[in-house]
Structure 1
Amino acid sequence: MLSLNYQYKLKVNKQQASTIDEWLDICKSVYNFALRERKDWVNSRKCPIDRCSLESEYIIPPDAPRPTYARQCKSLGMAKKKFPRLSIPQSQVLQQTLKGLEEAFVNMWNRGFGFPRFKKKMRSFVFPQVKPDCIQGKTITLPKLGKLKLVLSRPIPEGFVPKQVRVIKKASGYYANIILQLDVNVPDVPAHGYPIGIDLGLEEFLATSEGELIKGHKFLKESEGELKLLQGQLKNKKKGSRRWKNISRRIARLYEKITNCRKDFFYKTAHHLCDQAGMIFVEDLNLKALGRSALRKACLDAAWGTFVSILSYVCWKRGVYFAKVNANGTSQICPECGVNCGKKTLSERVHKCPDCGFQADRDVAAAMVVKRRGESTVGATGRKLDQGNDVGDEVSTSSSVTL
């Protein structure tokens, strides 16, 4: 099964926007109530069995079952009789809200995430099932919302059927994330073509094993002055007033612009790299640790994790083999002779091997090490397939594989 996620902007009128906002508010209330129910049950099991706190205590019967996704979904039916407002959204939308809470707890248990928090705003809701013919021309029909106009920035691929729709509220308007599916098996991309290695950095966003250096983006840093000015104005406004809302909207739009500019840069860079090779290897960085280091602000602004995920998708789409390699010691090992030259300070930007005398830019040398490690993981398959071909031949071969 092949799945694609396409996002389109919705052109809604005031009544439709008001309905979507009301649904978001109801979903937020359901999420927070379910989380409160779970927290109360957990806290009631923390107190000692022989005494109670002098201040407050969560008293829940000992035979009360633990609130789970299935039990809370079942209780929605009784809650709708007591609170008719819960009957306004489609029932599956509220069930998906509870499912999101369940996923938050699963991520806490299995992936080490923090305890789920209460939401001040709900920004999206999901229709897990939609009709196959819900998209007609430039409109989409959703349960209880009716027909909504779409800005078809790109056509729906032939043969794909809509399976799920997520309605998202952003600073720039309302959007629909549509999951399209086609019943076909797509094999993994085999190792082939000319390989390149990539080293990610801060001074230069990335360096390739071919010696190319791509200048780093600083979209957040360039907008910090405007953000500081707007946030200073927001601080002096009364919360909830008209001017407070206007400035908050401007701040949200600026953050969205930064995100869009960053994503546009990532996609263009990924396609540029796929034009050059049939195999791309990148470092498997510990992004969680880098996000807590002394350079965390610059690392988070660089958004290496987002770029790597976009690069892997673009490689899959264009038929380029993609793989991650071990990142330990890539800046210490000489790519020419393989000798460990020791650690370098951040100010050392040139790699000089004391054994073989090889000299190159530090990031380029690290990218060459990444390339060698990638070749060792897949063997010499790529070299054997394209022996005798130059880089231009390999590029034309890999570029022709598109979906």
Structure 2
Amino acid sequence: MLNLTYIYRLKLNQQQSQTYDAWLETSRRVWNFALGERKDWYNSRSCRIDACRINCEYIISADAPRPTFASQCLALTQARKTNPNLREAHSQMLQQVLRRLEKAFIGMWESGRGFPRFKKQGRMRSLLFPQLGVNPILGSKVKLPGVGWVKMRLSRPIPDGFVAKQAQVVKKASGWYVMLMLQANVDVPNFVPHGQPIGIDIGLKSFLATSSGEQIARPQFFVDLQCKLKLLQQRVSHKKLGSNNWRKAVAKVSRLYEHIYNTRKDFHFKLAHKLCDQVGMIFVEDLNFKAWAKGMFSKHTLDAGFGEFFSILEWVCCQRGVYFAKVNPNGTSQICPNCNHHTGKKDLSERIHCCGECGFQTDRDVASAMVVMQRGLAAVGHTVSQP
């Protein structure tokens, strides 16, 4: 079973836009109510029964069960009978809001994430519809729950044999978009190592360096527009909170952030396709980018988006039939790729690799990329094939 997600821009009319805006607000209220119910239950168990605070305390019956996804879905069904706003909204869409809240708590328990937070007005931006009707796509139109047929900008055609299973409508600063999950009953092939290999080393001076000696300059997506962003944010702070001029200024900031995101993602996709055009195997380092984002180069690391690039590169390799693998990153800059001699730790200012044993000299990042390629080939038991 193969799943693909295609994103298209929607052309909603005024009535359709108002309907989805109302559903976003309803979803936000459902999220906040369900989160508040869970938070009150946890706070009522946060202290001993003989050590409650004098001024205030959450008091819930001791035999009250912990709110779960199932219990809150049942309560939502009962509330829809009396609340007209809940009755007008799509039932499965509201259930998905509760499911997302459940996943947020699971992420907090298992992955160490923070406690889920309440959403203020305008923070809920997506509506997930887990089921679509029969033949929901007709040409450049898609049939969505609550609004019927909607025109969309068909930037690329739907692949033959794929069926739209679910849709997620997203509101961005530039307009409304739909993310269609397409599904086909086909087997995904497992690509074996083949063709010419290449190793990739990422850095801060250059975006990446390859084992073939190529170095890609690092675009500064956020840094280049930081002054403009600062100016727009200052204009927001000078407007009266909640006024029309304040909303217009906030929209300009949102559009600039979206522009930065789009340019970064476009660069990642183009670079990934360029790399796949050259080789049949790509090896990268298995790095902890969360730790990088907390270091002294956090701004530059987040601006480059290395983690997102590796995810995109892996996906493009799967689509292009290129073998992709991650290798151990420890000590890649301390080993000579020519004689495997351990050269010792280098300072960040030392940009040239010079081996004291064999005299091999090259750029530091290129040498690390060559070591990455050698480790990848050793892991798959493959030898370099001559072009």
TM score, norm. by length of structure 2: 0.98
Compute the displacement of 1:146 (Å). Answer: 1.1
1:80-115 per-residue CA deviation (whole Å, 9 max, x = no partner) reads 133221111110000000000011111111111111
Separation of aligned partners in 1, 2:78 and 2:258: 40
Separation of aligned partners in 2, 1:180 and 1:89: 25
Corresponding residue of 1:396:
none
Corresponding residue of 2:189:
187
Q: Which runs of 5+ in 1 are unaligned?
A: 391-403
Alignment of 1:125-164 (within 5 A): 125-164=127-166
Corresponding residue of 2:27:
27
Contact in 2 for aligned 1:132/1:162 (Cα 8 Å): no
SS in 2 for 1:354: coil
Corresponding residue of 1:316:
318
Separation of aligned partners in 2, 1:263 and 1:132: 33
1:289-339 per-residue CA deviation (whole Å, 9 max, x = no partner) reads 101001101111111000000000000000000001111111111111112
Separation of aligned partners in 1, 2:51 and 2:79: 34
SS in 2 for 1:67: coil
Compute the displacement of 1:51 (Å). Answer: 3.0
Contact in 2 for aligned 1:132/1:163 (Cα 8 Å): no
Separation of aligned partners in 2, 1:240 and 1:24: 19
Corresponding residue of 2:281:
279
Separation of aligned partners in 1, 2:256 and 2:17: 22
1:189-243 per-residue CA deviation (whole Å, 9 max, x = no partner) reads 1111111000011110000000000000101011001101111111111111111
Separation of aligned partners in 2, 1:190 and 1:169: 40
Corresponding residue of 1:64:
64
Corresponding residue of 2:49:
49
Compute the displacement of 1:132 (Å). Answer: 3.8
Contact in 1 for aligned 2:193/2:281 (Cα 8 Å): yes
Contact in 2 for aligned 1:131/1:162 (Cα 8 Å): no
Structure 1 stretch 79-88 or stretch 123-132: which is displaced more? 79-88
1:174 to 154, 157, 176: 176
Corresponding residue of 1:325:
327
Separation of aligned partners in 1, 2:337 and 2:68: 54
Corresponding residue of 2:79:
79
Corresponding residue of 2:103:
103
Contact in 1 for aligned 2:221/2:304 (Cα 8 Å): no
SS in 2 for 1:81: coil
Please list every run of at least 4 consecutive aligned residues from structure 1 whose deviation after the TM superposition is greater than 6 angstroms.
none
Alignment of 1:216-255 (within 5 A): 216-255=218-257
SS in 2 for 1:376: helix
1:29-55 per-residue CA deviation (whole Å, 9 max, x = no partner) reads 101111111111111111212132012
Say yes or no: does 1:262 pair with 2:289: no
Corresponding residue of 1:214:
216
Compute the displacement of 1:28 (Å). Answer: 0.6
SS in 2 for 1:268: helix
SS in 2 for 1:275: helix
Corresponding residue of 1:12:
12
Say yes or no: does 1:370 pair with 2:372: yes
Contact in 1 for aligned 2:19/2:146 (Cα 8 Å): no
Compute the displacement of 1:136 (Å). Answer: 0.8
1:141-200 per-residue CA deviation (whole Å, 9 max, x = no partner) reads 122221111110111111100001000000000000000000011121111111100001
TM score, norm. by length of structure 1: 0.94
Separation of aligned partners in 2, 1:242 and 1:203: 43
Corresponding residue of 2:117:
117
Separation of aligned partners in 1, 2:83 and 2:334: 64
Corresponding residue of 1:91:
91
2:306 to 298, 304, 307: 304
Separation of aligned partners in 2, 1:283 and 1:290: 13
Separation of aligned partners in 2, 1:51 and 1:325: 53
Separation of aligned partners in 2, 1:159 and 1:115: 42
Contact in 2 for aligned 1:132/1:161 (Cα 8 Å): no
Contact in 2 for aligned 1:280/1:321 (Cα 8 Å): yes
Contact in 1 for aligned 2:140/2:151 (Cα 8 Å): yes
Aligned residue identity for 1:44: S
Separation of aligned partners in 1, 2:51 and 2:267: 60
Identity between Structure 1 and Structure 2 (%): 56
Separation of aligned partners in 2, 1:333 and 1:132: 59
Equivalent residue pairs, number: 385
Q: Which runs of 5+ in 2 are unaligned?
A: none
Separation of aligned partners in 2, 1:35 and 1:364: 50
Separation of aligned partners in 2, 1:294 and 1:55: 44
Separation of aligned partners in 1, 2:71 and 2:147: 27
Aligned residue identity for 2:196: Y
Aligned residue identity for 1:32: N
Separation of aligned partners in 1, 2:177 and 2:227: 29
1:223-268 per-residue CA deviation (whole Å, 9 max, x = no partner) reads 0011011111111111111111111000000000000000000001
